[in-house]
Amino acid sequence: MPWGVKSMESEKQKFVLLYETGQFTKSDLCAQFGISRPTGDAILKRYQNEGWDALSERRRRPGHHPFTTAKEIEDAIVAKRKKHIHWGARKIIELLRRDPKVQAALIPSETTVNNIMKRHGLTMVRRKAPRRIEDRQPVYDPKEPNEIWRFRLYSGKHQKMLDLGHERESGRVLQEPVGYYRSLGSHLNQA
């Protein structure tokens, strides 16, 4: 609803007062306030049924959540976690399954049990371990130039390539002469 002012409640009151004067039509007021006719009708209907209190802002949050965990189950989860502080959700779920007082259909999932424990402050947030990257290439420590040579042979449909180069410890190529050998000829083409 684009009211475009400080308080939505005061604008609704203004809308109702101007409509009650009888000088304006409902369509004109809705156009002036920048709202649709069904919204204007809803405001007037709420005002007629409930009075001025109906024009205040209402909660948009639903009053009932049909899939919430039962209070008894939540209390049992919290009690078991407080009794055994090192037990996780899987073990608590297993203990709830063994409990004859608790119905099996009411036992929540592992994620829900973790969320309940987190909501009650029964879990600690762990710092993620730093990611460790393993070196898959062997580390070379050449003492002289041209000590390490690298060869790659590629074979395609019509040519074979011989790649010669030497590296240093960081793995960067210092010099890379490349030779292409064609299968039809025996001469070397420099790249």
What 44-50 contacts at long range (C-beta under 8 Å, 24+ apart), as own/partner pairs, is 44/16, 44/19, 47/12, 47/16
Would you say how long the chain is, in residues?
Answer: 191
Q: What pLDDT is recorded for position 128?
A: 85
Q: What is the mean pLDDT of residues 45-53?
A: 88
Three-state secondary structure along 15-69?
A: HHHHHHHCCCCHHHHHHHHCCCHHHHHHHHHHHHHHCHHHHCCCCCCCCCCCCCC
Q: What is the mean pLDDT of residues 13-40?
A: 90
Q: What pLDDT is recorded for position 154?
A: 54
| Structure confidence at residue 179 as a pLDDT band (50, 70, 90) | very low
What are the tens digits of pLDDT across the range 100-157?
888 888 899 999 999 999 999 998 888 888 887 776 665 666 677 766 665 555 555 5
Q: What pLDDT is recorded for position 148?
A: 61
Q: Contact at 8 Å (CB) between 73 and 107?
A: yes
Burial level of 43, CB count in 10 A (0-12/13-18/19+)? Answer: buried
Is residue 79 over pLDDT 60?
Answer: yes
Q: What pLDDT is recorded for position 166?
A: 44
Question: For domain 71-119, which architecture applies?
Answer: Orthogonal Bundle (1.10)
What is the dihedral sign for C-alpha 15, 20, 26, 31?
negative
Q: Which residue has the higher pLDDT, 156 or 180?
A: 156
Q: Which residues pair with 160 in a beta bridge?
A: 155, 181
> Is the overall model pTM greater than 0.95, yes or no?
no
| Structure confidence at residue 180 as a pLDDT band (50, 70, 90) | very low
Q: What pLDDT is recorded for position 2?
A: 59
Q: Which residue has the higher pLDDT, 10 or 36?
A: 36
Domain boundaries, the chain: 8-55, 71-119, 149-190
Q: What is the mean pLDDT of residues 11-18?
A: 88
